[in-house]
Each structure stands twice: as C-alpha cells, then as structure tokens.
Chain A
C-alpha cells in the first residue's frame, strides 16, 4: 500500500513537532524547519497532481482503526479530482505563508511555525479523509492551532475574537457530530455494526426514508455552513480576521473556509443527494443572501481587512450558489471558485496585513495616495482587487461568471428570471466596493492624516510570496483548464450518481 497520502499528513506533523521543540537559542532556525517541511509537502502534492504516483484510485489507503461490536472506524484516505485541488492549495498557501512571515520577527517564533504546521496537518486530513470519524477528528484538529494563532499573535481584541471563533465553530461541529451519529445509525440494518467509511455509509443511507435524510442533511449542513460562513452565522469571521495575524488570516480564509464548502459537496451532496433536492431552495436563498449581504457589508467597512473578510462571505456565497444549482456546471465552477478564492484571498490578506504593518493603520479614511510611496505594494493590491472582482484574464473571472451562468440555467428551468437581478446587483456591488476602496487608499492626494515618511515598500520575502500568487492568478486566469480538468473528472462522476 502506498503511503503517499499519509505522508501529506505525517510530514507537516513531524515539522510541527520539531518546530515546537526548538525553543530557546534554536528558535530562530524554526522558520527554516517550517519552510523545509512545507516545501516537501508542496512537492509531493504537485507530483501527485501531475500523476507521477499513478492513478488517484490506486493511492487509497485504508485500515481498520477502531472496531467494536457497534462501530467500525477506519483510518482511510482517498484522493480525487475534488480533493487534489484543495490539497494543492493547502500545501501552497502554507509554504507561502511561511515565506511571507520571514520578514517579521515575533516572540516565540517556534510556536508560531509549529501552529502553522499543525494547521496543515488538520487541513490535509480533512481534505483526504474518507471516514467520518477521521474526518471529524481532523476537522477539530484545525480549530485549536487557529485559536492559539489568534489569541497569541493577534491584534488588541484578540482574546474576545479567539474565544468567539472557537466556541462558534465548535458548537457547529458538535451539531455536525450528532448528524454523523444519526447518519451512521440510519445506514445499517438492526444488529449490524456501523461502518463509518464514506462508501459504506453512502450505500447504506440510500435505503433510509427521505424525512430522516433531510433531517441529517440539515444538521450536517449547519455545521458546514457556519464554517463557510454563510449569513446569518457569519459574525465570527470579521472579528476573527480583524484580530488574526496576517498569516492566520491567509490560512483561515484561504483554506479553512473551504473546509465548509468541501464538506457540503463531499458529504451533504455525495451521501444525501435526495435530501439536497429537498433543501435546494433553502441553499440558494442562503447563498443569495450571503452574496448580497457580504457585498453590502463591504461598502460600509472602514477597516481594509474587515472589508476583505466581508468579501469572503460574499464570494463563499457564490460557491454555495454553484452548489445549490445541483448541475454539473454549477458544481464544477463552485469548486473552481473555491480554488480561485483561495489564491486571491491569500493575496488580499497579505496586502491588507502589510498595510497595517507598514503604514500603521488599516483604516481606509486615514489612507490615501499610497501608490506614490509604495508602487510595488500598489501593483499587488490592484492585481488582487481586480482578480477578486472578476476581471477577465484573471482567475476570479472563471470562478464567478460560470457560476452565474449555471445559475442562469437553473432559473430558466424554474421560470424565475427575476432572480437574475440579484446576480447583477452583486456584481455591481463587488466592482463598486473594490474600486472605491482602491481609489481611497492608493490614488488621489497623499494623505496628511498619518505620517508616511517612514513607510517602506514590499520587503523581499513578502515580494516572493505575492509574486508567486500573482503568477498563479494570471496562469489559471488564462488557462483555467489546468485546474478544471481535475474538477470535471470529479463532477462528471458525481452527477452520474446523484
């Protein structure tokens, strides 16, 4: 049995442990450990993506982990077109975050890098697990490093934000856990042991009644929705982002939010397709409210980072909309939007973090005319903003517009053309808040409200991380097929099943 998938979890784990133990005088070397281990992980996931290790189907690993008379839980990992992109995104962003963080020195650096690597362990686990028990454990594993990341290295209101983040998402995952219980119990005949592997449950639950399926769907969906997050359960996100350090924000928005949408596709849609049709309109309604409310919220923000946080809510709403269409195009481009948003939002948060760090404030009204002082910074900010608002030729375009196309098909079928208005409104709002924010911060007369004499432009390592992301944003913008081929292979199979 190949150990490739396990190595994706084990290598960051070893990195985390080594970094953790490098206290005292060795502290300054911990960053190289983190970079080394995350680079190896990235190389493995790249090779995996390019098919060097062979077919995805041959790479599955599975062995029975816990088996009692009532439960069978497996340590089983699989990879397919959906998870490979998320794995790649995780490995990429973790490495870039490590590189990005080199320019700044903080107290207890080794803990910082250990937390990042521990987060990678959980994320990799979530994206490759194919057993509910393992999935849940990994889901929770991501929570604790993020809590400490915010509460140790965050801004002034970090304690409040960290605990809010922790409890909010933990309660949601407990609801999800009950959903998993019921799912397991309903999927077997009386007297048999519950096998928690994805495949076994998928087979078993198909025989359950539609009412119970819908109930389970609701519980699981709630757990994922809070993580995404969708309105009205989004309030933890702006707080968490405002207070988190840049590196934490990048990982939180870039890959952790994707856990929610990944869970919806992987578990809710795959295992409970009939129930998904029952809830379809609710999903679409939540998606539309999130898109509009998120975009509307952006306009009102004065904190640059909080604005980007709200834009995440709006863009993740777009993912939900694609999923809600329940068509091949919808799901394909929803996944692409997840990927695209991961790249773009990483750039956005890096840029915003630099604003706070270099200029001293992220308050938009205090900023102005930064382009003159910091040309490279301004360039990256423009690329990120343009990509996020969906400029053709950049990756964001292929996330948003095809989703809206898929939604258009859906509303044609159901004869509700007026819903197109919402889409147009959201596009206008998105373009509006980005352009307006850019105008206020980068252009116009140089601000006199703050002292700009000591402001420096982008530093070396920050430049490297942002440059890599910009290249990828452009690369996948002109050649989306590089990512789409994986997703399509997955969504074709998925549509055959549901």
Chain B
C-alpha cells in the first residue's frame, strides 16, 4: 500500500528514493545552519529526513520491491543493507545534538557529511559494477575523513583524520590499480560478468590474481582486516564518539557489503564448481578471517582506553563476519548479515554509552569506569549487557547471531563438508578470549570501588538511543526471526 504511494511519487527513480532524500538533506543542511543559527532546529530537521528515508526503505523492504534504474539495482539485499545503514545514521543523528564532542557550530556541515557518507553506503548496496561501487565507497570515505577531523579542539582528532586520510588514499590507489588490472584481463567491470569469467576460466592468470589481491587489500583497509587494521584504533580514539560509532558500525559494514558484492558474487560460482580461482580466494579469505579475529581479540586484552578496546573488538567482529567469505554459502551470508545487524546494536550501544559518559565528564580509560554501577546503575547494566552480547553470552543477540554464523562454517546440514571446521574452532576459541577483556570492564564497573560515588545525569537523547539498542539486543536474541527471514531472502537474491 504505502510502497505503491512511494512508487507513484518517485516513478522510475524509486530504486534511488532513499538516496534522493539523503542527498536533498545533505544539500539543505548547511543552508539551514547558516540562516537559522540554531543547532537544535538543524538537528530536528535532520531527524525528520532520516526518519523519512528509513520509512521509505522499510516500506520497500516489507513490500519486497525490486527495481532497476540506470545501473542501480534495488532488491531485497539493498533494502536490508540500506536499512542497516539508516539505523546507524538514525542512532548517530539522534545523539549528535546532545554530544559535547561534536561541535555544534558546525552542525550543518556535520550533518551534511553524515548524510553524504550514508548516501555513499546506500549507493554501494545497489551497485554491481566495480566502478560504481568504487564511487560509492569514495563518497563515504571522503566524508568520513572530514568528520573525524571535526572535533577541532582535540589534537588527537586532527592526527586521526590525517592518518585516516593518508591510509584511505593509499587503499584507494591500491583498489584502482587492482580494478585496472582486472579490467585489462577480463575486459569488464561488471561483477556478474566477472563471476562468469572466473567460473569458466580454468587457467590460472597471475596478473588477474594480483589485481584481485590489490582489491582485497584496498577494501581490506575499509573493514580494518588484519594486516590492514593499524589505523582503526587511532581513528576511533581520536574521533568523537558518535563518529566512532558511525565508523565502527556503518563504514565497516559498508566494507563488508563491498566484500559481498564484489568478491562473494565473483567467486561463489567458482567456489561451487571448485575451479582454481574459487579455491584460492576461499583460502585467502579464511586466513584473513582467522588472523583478523585472533589479532583483534588478543590485542584488545592489552588496551586500557575503552575506545581502543572497542576498536580492536570490532576488528575481531569483522573477522567473524569474514567467515562468510571463506564459506561462501547462502546460509553463511544470511548469518553474516544477521550478525552485522546485531553488531550494530551491541557495538553501537557500547559506543553510545562511552559517548554519554564523556558528556558527563567521565574519561575514556577503563579505570575511569570503576564503581560506575553505584553511580549510574542503568548505564552500567546496559553496558554489561552490550559487552556480554559481544562476547556471545546467551540469550542476547550476539549469541544467537554468532551461533548462526559459526554453525554455517560447518557446511550445510546433513552435508557437513568439514573443510572449514577449523575456522569455526578458531572463532569459538576467540569468543572465549574475548570474554576476558569484556569481563574486565564489567569488573571495573561492578566490583572495583571508584574514587567518586557522585550520581550524574546524561542527556535524554543518549538514554533513548541506548534503550533502543538494548531492546534490540534482547529481542533479536530471543526472537531472531524478526530480521533473520529478511536476511535469508536477501542472501538468496545475491
């Protein structure tokens, strides 16, 4: 019903509907700030745009809309991934006005950049051509560099932005180089055509493989896969918490979407047929996944800054999600997408709490969290649930999604190939390691005594956002069907 109205308004442009809303928002935001000079009004208008875009996307998702317009393919997959990015955007915008870290004087520019970045993400999910995907990724990346730098009074912010921009530029160069080599050999940049090329080409071409490896490296930077992860902790630490959250939950998921749309599409046929490229690619991804989760988890143990700890933990989480690239089955993909969703809520929730506590004047060190349970019982309890969910303790969302994800590594039911059992073992071991550093924070909050016992208040917007995350972390844990069905449908369209 509602979907029909949307179709009639946007006509042929329906596949682009949510993006159009975001682009308009990105264009008008600086203007509103300039003329209105009221950051709260700017924020309210931004919220309206976000909710509108989310509404459109959700209607199209529930309706099962499929459309095509000038190289933009909109299907169940685009809708569900789009929803994920819009949820991230919603949570980030919701708290941005109350956060002391995001400079209010630049509210217009800040929202504009956020909308621009999200547009890029949505654009990526509708593209099946190396070049258009590249354009989407760049749109997001360039907006993100500027966003990281917006916390102007903090030297760490500028350092993080420069680091992020330089490394990002390098990864862009690598990616482009890879794409050019692939084009030179396969004579196409469309991923489905490349998939055919890979599946039916039994001769191993080194130049083509080097092109692929360059692209893996380039996009590996985006998702901070080991060994391309060095920038992530510095950037997350330097940026404002809402921005860190946007990068950890949004940008990173875009990187995974790129992996799915480029590499999964390209190699899934070859992997099923068992031809040479498929095998090699699967092993490359399996090794990257295993290293990413292991390094992420082990280094996280040594962190004292909570933002850095969360950064390493999201590196580890990216490692878990990369399992889908090694296994390459629709089940794995559905599980991976579901894990991305639960990760948005649990990691997003954790970053929100860090942001809220910074607003209340509490530092970023784990030692600053001592005795928090006495000072802010709700925040401490919420943080504990988010961290336990990240560690995979049932019955929270993180457990359910990890359960699906690790199970998919064993193969399909009744036909367990056993090829990736070792990967599942590594992942489960990592889960156990991760419990240690999450429990450290819980211990600091609940068991150790703090210097201050003073209670404090946090902005209402943060409370709302945290409550939303909390509800989803619990509900998706006990009732995953809410989203899992959509993830399965999406995985079959790919």
Give chain A's interface residues, CB within 8 Å of chain B: 23, 66-71, 133, 136-137, 140-141, 143-144, 148, 151-152, 159, 163, 166-167, 170-171, 174-175, 177-178, 181-182, 184-186, 188-194
Contacts and interface: CB of A to CB of B under 8 A. Distances in A.
B432 A191 contact: no
A246 B281 CA distance: 56
B407 interface: yes
A191 B404 contact: no
Contact of A190 (B377, B406, B412, B429): B412
A70 B424 contact: no
Given A68-B488, A178-B424, A185 B410 contact: yes
Nearest to A184: B413
Contacts of A182: 410, 416
A167 B403 CA distance: 19
B485 A68 contact: yes
B319 interface: no
B435 A170 contact: yes
Contacts of A144: 388, 393
Contact of A185 (B393, B399, B414, B443): B414
Contacts of A181: 406-407, 410, 424
The interface centre, meaning the residue of A71, A133, A184 with most chain B CB atoms within 10 A of its CB, is: A71
Given A141-B394, A191-B414, A67 B446 contact: no
Interface string B385-399: 000100001110001
A167 B399 CA distance: 16
Nearest to B409: A181
A196 to B, nearest CB: 10
A23 B378 CA distance: 13
A100 to B, nearest CB: 24
27 contacts: A66-B400, A66-B479, A67-B481, A68-B484, A68-B488, A69-B331, A70-B412, A70-B413, A136-B394, A151-B446, A152-B447, A159-B443, A166-B435, A167-B432, A174-B428, A174-B429, A177-B403, A178-B425, A181-B407, A184-B407, A185-B416, A186-B414, A188-B413, A191-B413, A192-B413, A192-B414, A193-B413
Nearest to B402: A177
Given A66-B481, A71-B404, A152 B446 contact: yes
A184 B413 CA distance: 8
Nearest to A148: B446
B395 A137 contact: yes
B414 A69 contact: no
B411 interface: yes
Contact of A167 (B414, B435, B479, B481): B435
B436 interface: yes
Interface in B470-484: 479-481, 484
A185 B446 CA distance: 40
Nearest to A70: B331
Nearest to B428: A174
Contacts of B454: none
A188 B414 contact: yes
A190 B414 contact: yes
A141 B439 contact: no
B432 A171 contact: yes
Contacts of A70: 331, 407-408, 412-413
A189 B413 CA distance: 7
A170 B392 CA distance: 11
The interface centre, meaning the residue of B394, B399, B400, B411 with most chain A CB atoms within 10 A of its CB, is: B394
A185 B408 CA distance: 10
B415 A190 contact: yes
B488 A159 contact: no
Contacts of B126: none
Contact of B439 (A166, A174, A177, A185): A166
Contacts of A148: 446
A133 B415 CA distance: 20
A68 B337 CA distance: 14
A147 to B, nearest CB: 8
Nearest to A152: B447
A137 B416 CA distance: 24
B431 interface: yes
A324 to B, nearest CB: 28
B327 to A, nearest CB: 12
Contacts of A140: 393-394, 399
B328 interface: no
Given A171-B432, A190-B412, A163 B443 contact: yes
B334 interface: yes
Nearest to A159: B447
Interface in B422-458: 424-425, 428-429, 431-432, 435-436, 439, 443, 446-447
A188 B412 CA distance: 10
Given A159-B447, A177-B428, A167 B412 contact: no
A174 B435 CA distance: 12
A174 to B, nearest CB: 5
Nearest to B478: A65
A191 B411 CA distance: 11
A119 to B, nearest CB: 15
Nearest to A64: B481
A245 B441 CA distance: 23
B414 to A, nearest CB: 4
Contacts of B443: 151, 159, 163
A66 B480 contact: yes
**10 tightest A-B CB contacts, nearest first:** A190-B415, A137-B394, A190-B414, A188-B414, A185-B416, A194-B413, A189-B414, A171-B432, A140-B394, A137-B395
A174 B406 CA distance: 11
A191 B394 contact: no
A170 B432 contact: yes
A247 to B, nearest CB: 18
Contacts of A174: 428-429, 431-432
A468 B395 CA distance: 35
Contacts of B428: 174-175, 177-178
A184 B388 CA distance: 25
A137 B388 CA distance: 13
Nearest to B491: A69
A159 B446 CA distance: 11
Given A144-B388, A152-B446, A181-B410, 9 more contacts: A143-B393, A148-B446, A166-B435, A167-B435, A174-B432, A177-B428, A185-B416, A188-B413, A190-B415
Contacts of B331: 69-70
Nearest to A175: B428
A69 B481 CA distance: 11
Interface in B211-269: none
Contacts of A23: 377
Contacts of B481: 66-68
Contacts of B416: 182, 185-186
A144 B443 CA distance: 12
Given A144-B388, A178-B425, A191 B412 contact: yes
A151 B400 CA distance: 27
Nearest to A151: B447
A23 B374 CA distance: 12
A144 B407 CA distance: 24
A445 B446 CA distance: 45
Nearest to B334: A68
Contacts of A66: 400, 479-481, 484
Nearest to B485: A68
A415 to B, nearest CB: 39
B315 to A, nearest CB: 21
Contacts of A192: 413-414
A331 B432 CA distance: 33
Contacts of A194: 413
Contacts of B424: 178, 181
A69 B486 CA distance: 12
A51 to B, nearest CB: 32
A112 B416 CA distance: 45
A163 B407 contact: no
A337 to B, nearest CB: 30
Contacts of B411: 185
The interface centre, meaning the residue of A175, A185, A191, A194 with most chain B CB atoms within 10 A of its CB, is: A185
